[in-house]
Structure 1
Amino acid sequence: MSLRFSLMGPVRAWREDEEIDLGPRQQRAVLAALLLNNGTRLSNDQLIGMVWDDPTPSAVMALRTYMYKIRKTLPELDLRSKDGGYTLRAEFVDDCRGEPLEGLQGTYFEAQRVRLAERRLKSREEWLERELDVIELQKHVASHPLREHPRVLLMHALFREGRQAEALEHYHQARALLGEQLGLEPGPELRKAHARILKGDLHLPRKPEQLPPDVADFTGRVAEIARALDVLPGLVGITGMNGSGKTALATRIGHLVKGRFPDGQIFVRSGDVADELLRAVGVENPAGDKAALWREKARGKRFLVVVDDVPSAEAVKDLRTPGSAMILTSVRRWNDLPGVTWLKIAGLAVPEARAFFRKVLDPARIAAEEQQADEVLARVSYLPNPIRVLGGKLSGRPAWTVTMLLKQMDRETVLGEAVPSDCRAVLAPIIKADRQLTAEQRHLLTCFARQNADVINVCEAAEMSGGEVDRIDVLLESLADVHLIEPVVLGSYRLPRFVQMYFGLRSLVPTS
């Protein structure tokens, strides 16, 4: 099940949509200390120093008690003591407008409260910069009259509405306030906005916001998300077979971090990545060295770039710029691309797959046939895209049972040209992969799929396919590169059940 936490207001947690009782104040303080250091190992002494300003010897036993209760309340966190410390990885939602860490006391939490409040303030201003809503900006400026950037945004918004005099009046108000309270003149950003409004040539920079909508029922991938959040603004790559949810994961990560990149988010799904990046920032019909031109345009800015289905290492290798982040998705891991932290994903973990299935299909129908539901998930190797299609199919047939779906899956698999479109939607990831295979690769996979063995080694593969061992070794590795088989140990590979289902009866399933 998916856990979410919030520190903006009281420390809170949810399992799916149900809020969890986190216990007394000191227990929540221990959990908050771990959450504030998400992904970082904390020793017992560090935790005690954060939670108690003047700890007594009994603090050690109290910490052990609270950690035991937290583990019991939140078993999904797998909080085990290792080398005298604890590490927590979690997903956050910050949708509460209360005081950060409400109710927690002590020097450490006071300092963190200031930091979180400042982060939330910046996030609010980044939202205001995107929306340029005059009324919301007026409220914000009234609450924070000495912050210059939101006042500049308000001047922009007023000028855009044809209210030039009001925009100029805000400059004079700011100048008087800064001089009276701080003895300062307005900063360069305010002065520049004032000068350009006087000239009537204030133009807002083009800010791309191209991220696809986040997937509302996204489930799992907690460890991968935590790792990506640690790495960014470094280069993150997500690799996995078709249907594993690479794009959904990249999009989820993008929405979690987009506040860090105030100059915009760019989403590219094209062979000419540099061309699309330049068009996103307003360069029409770019020519010449596009990568160099992009680096020039992006200098000093913070963009979040998501490149979906990277066609080659060459397409992205010269496009990184300091301060900006790039998330790549690709079936193939491009090992010749330097500096990438690769996250490999496959099917969801079994509990996550079950939770996801319950999101796309009435949980009561699943509960009535749990074993059959597990069989459906296993047949598609717990891949989220086929699970979504099958759950949608059953949702559209309220009189059907899960058992009926299994029977139709068996029947449709052998229908040849008569395979219905909804079944083809389930098979779409494998069909796409199949079209990119060579005849040798396809023959080897078909031979592998028709065996009863889950795991096979190079020599066995050569014998059953009639090929030479050296050549078969190369072919097996090429199939592992695109995740159609999974390396177990050197020279040994496992075939995912979804792949086996398709290639075992490939001659009976249309591929075009």
Structure 2
Amino acid sequence: MSLRFSLMGPVRAWRDEEEVGLGPRQQRAVLAALLLNNGIRLSNEQLIGMVWDEPTPSALMALRTYVYKIRKTLPELHLKSMDGGYTVRAEIVDDCRGEPLEGLRSAYFDAQRVRLGDYRLKVREDCLERELDVLELQKHVAAHPLRERPRALLMRALYLEGRQGEALDHFHRARALLNEELGLEPGPELREVHARILNGDLSAPRRPEQLLPDLVDFTGRAEEIAQALRTLPGTVGITGMRGSGKTALATRIGHLVKGRFPDGQIFVRGRDVAGELLRAVGVENPVGDRAALWREKARGKRFLVVVDDVQDAATVRDLATPGSAMILTSVRRMDELPGVTWLKTAGLAEREARDFFRKVLGPARVDAEPEQAGVLLERLSRLPGPIRVIGGRLSSRPHWTIGMVLQQMEREGKLAGVIPSDCVAMLAPLIAAEERLSDPERHMLMCFARQDAEVIDSQRAADLSGADPGEIEMVLESLAGVHLIEPLVLGRYRLPRFVRFYFRLRTPALTG
């Protein structure tokens, strides 16, 4: 579940899309003080001084009562007690509503209201920039006549509606007002919009919507999705072997949260991540430090960025920006990236795998052969990618049974190093994974696949290969890093059945 707060207007909270009642005014004041100092420890004395201008001796007891009630109402907030004080870490959204901290009264809140009021104007103008609604911009300009940014936005909106004369008239009115009230000429933003209107090259801001389509038959991953929703707008990383559904999971999460990122959603696959992000927002030929330029373009905005199949941590290291979110997918977990919450995809749970197979092939055919379906799913290690391919193959052969596919796989497992053409799509994740293996890694998998071994012991691996045990441990850990084997305890690993099947096919060719 996702928990988020707003301080613009009354203090409010939402759990997913449902608003949560926060109790009486002083309880909301305690919560507001904690949220205004998000991530910072506040002592009892500091909190009391923020909430009450003239605290009574009972203030400490009242504070503890309110903290208890906040914890009970919002258990996922993780309100922590530390050395006689409290701290929270929370997502605070800007929803452009009324007076900041509405209804809360103390010297501290009055000072914060001024600060948040200035911030609220910026937030409101960010919203107006996304919408470019002429009527709302006219109201905002009338309320804040000396602010140049909303006037520039109004000129842009009028021009895009074909009202060029009105747009230019607003520039001259702004110029006269600034001269009369402040003795100033219009600033660079107003002058730039004016010049671009005269040149006829002013265009609507680009709002990218690049998420891949969500899969209608997406199945499972409830725990991983819940953890991602708790993390965003932080950075979420999804790791797992090829074919385990990393991209599908990232896409599903993206569609669930895209409404929280009104400036757009960007999907990138490739090594020039910063360049692709810039092109998505209209910078066609970026020069210089692309990461710095992206951070500048994304400042004050809320983008959802999905970077698929990250190959190198350096390509995404400096791209996170406040308010925006990133979802990364990578075969290898990149622990060198700071501030990433990593999720791991593997085979689906047994019931989820069967449900997914029923969606792909049709429930009647799967339910007609429940035992054979279970055996087939286990041979595919319950991985979504191969299940989809085998289900598609069966769908194109309406007279085939699941048992026939199992017989075919048995025959293929005895072939002399040849991957049948109709198996290539099913085995594509492992074909791609093998291309990136070193010779010792490939040899290790081949040795144990030949024996159809489920468990790899590091000592046994050293005996088979004749290599140094320390070197073998490095090879095994590298294979675990790309999820071709799974760590059990120190020195022992599990070899998934689907990986065993593939490397049994490859064994004769690899050994000559």
Distance 1:501-1:351 versus aligned 2 partners, 3 A rule: same
Q: Distance in 1 between the 2:131 and 2:19 partners?
A: 35
Q: Which amino acid aligns with 1:199?
A: A
Distance 1:154-1:220 versus aligned 2 partners, 3 A rule: closer
Contact preservation (8 Å) 1:175, 1:186: no
- Do structure 1's residue 195 and structure 2's residue 155 form an aligned pair? yes
| Deviation by residue 1:2-33 (Cα, 9 ceiling, x = unmatched) | xx9xxxxxxxxxxxxxxxxxxxxxxxxxxx99
Q: Which moved more, 1:293-302 or 1:184-193?
A: 184-193
Q: Which amino acid aligns with 2:314?
A: E
- Do structure 1's residue 257 and structure 2's residue 225 form an aligned pair? no
Partner of 1:481: 481
Q: Which amino acid aligns with 1:359?
A: K
Partner of 1:470: 470
Q: Mapping of 1:287-306 within 5 angstroms? A: 287-306=287-306
Q: Which moved more, 1:361-370 or 1:195-204?
A: 195-204
Q: Which amino acid aligns with 2:155?
A: A
Q: Distance in 2 between the 1:33 and 1:236 partners?
A: 20
Q: Which amino acid aligns with 1:372?
A: Q
Partner of 1:246: 246
Unaligned runs of 5+ residues in structure 1 are 5-31, 39-83, 89-117, 120-146, 157-166
Deviation, structure 1 residue 35: 9.4
Deviation, structure 1 residue 195: 3.4
Deviation, structure 1 residue 401: 0.8
2:391 match: secondary structure:
helix
TM, length-normalised to structure 2: 0.64
Contact preservation (8 Å) 2:418, 2:505: no
- Do structure 1's residue 351 and structure 2's residue 351 form an aligned pair? yes
Contact preservation (8 Å) 2:250, 2:329: yes
1:326 match: secondary structure:
strand
Partner of 2:285: 285
Q: Mapping of 1:438-477 within 5 angstroms? A: 438-477=438-477
Q: Distance in 1 between the 2:273 and 2:329 partners?
A: 13
Deviation, structure 1 residue 306: 0.7
Distance 1:193-1:242 versus aligned 2 partners, 3 A rule: same
Q: Distance in 1 between the 2:146 and 2:211 partners?
A: 33
Q: Distance in 2 between the 1:259 and 1:416 partners?
A: 53
- Do structure 1's residue 492 and structure 2's residue 492 form an aligned pair? yes
Partner of 2:210: 210
Distance 1:307-1:343 versus aligned 2 partners, 3 A rule: same
Q: Which amino acid aligns with 1:405?
A: V
Q: Distance in 2 between the 1:470 and 1:175 partners?
A: 72
Contact preservation (8 Å) 1:267, 1:305: yes
2:313 match: secondary structure:
coil
Q: Distance in 2 between the 1:87 and 1:429 partners?
A: 41
Q: Which amino acid aligns with 2:167?
A: K
Unaligned runs of 5+ residues in structure 2 are 2-13, 21-71, 77-94, 97-123, 159-165, 169-196
Deviation, structure 1 residue 465: 2.2
Partner of 2:332: 332
Distance 1:476-1:194 versus aligned 2 partners, 3 A rule: closer
Partner of 1:364: 364
Q: Mapping of 1:110-125 within 5 angstroms? A: none
Q: Which amino acid aligns with 1:363?
A: P
Q: Distance in 2 between the 1:194 and 1:434 partners?
A: 57
Paired residues, number: 364
Contact preservation (8 Å) 2:413, 2:504: no
Distance 1:452-1:154 versus aligned 2 partners, 3 A rule: closer
Contact preservation (8 Å) 2:360, 2:391: yes
Distance 1:274-1:457 versus aligned 2 partners, 3 A rule: same
1:437 match: secondary structure:
coil
Q: Which amino acid aligns with 2:485?
A: I
Q: Which amino acid aligns with 1:195?
A: M
Contact preservation (8 Å) 2:415, 2:505: no
Partner of 1:315: 315
Contact preservation (8 Å) 1:414, 1:508: no
Distance 1:175-1:318 versus aligned 2 partners, 3 A rule: closer
| Deviation by residue 1:430-467 (Cα, 9 ceiling, x = unmatched) | 11111111111111111122234422321111112222
Aligned alpha-carbon RMSD (Å): 3.5
Partner of 2:409: 409
Contact preservation (8 Å) 2:412, 2:505: no
Distance 1:254-1:404 versus aligned 2 partners, 3 A rule: same
Distance 1:150-1:483 versus aligned 2 partners, 3 A rule: closer
1:327 match: secondary structure:
strand
Deviation, structure 1 residue 345: 1.1
Contact preservation (8 Å) 1:413, 1:508: no
Deviation, structure 1 residue 498: 0.5
Distance 1:152-1:317 versus aligned 2 partners, 3 A rule: closer
Larger radius of gyration: 2
Deviation, structure 1 residue 415: 4.3
Q: Distance in 2 between the 1:149 and 1:439 partners?
A: 54
Q: Mapping of 1:138-153 within 5 angstroms? A: none
Q: Mapping of 1:73-88 within 5 angstroms? A: none
Deviation, structure 1 residue 148: 10
Q: Distance in 2 between the 1:319 and 1:226 partners?
A: 24
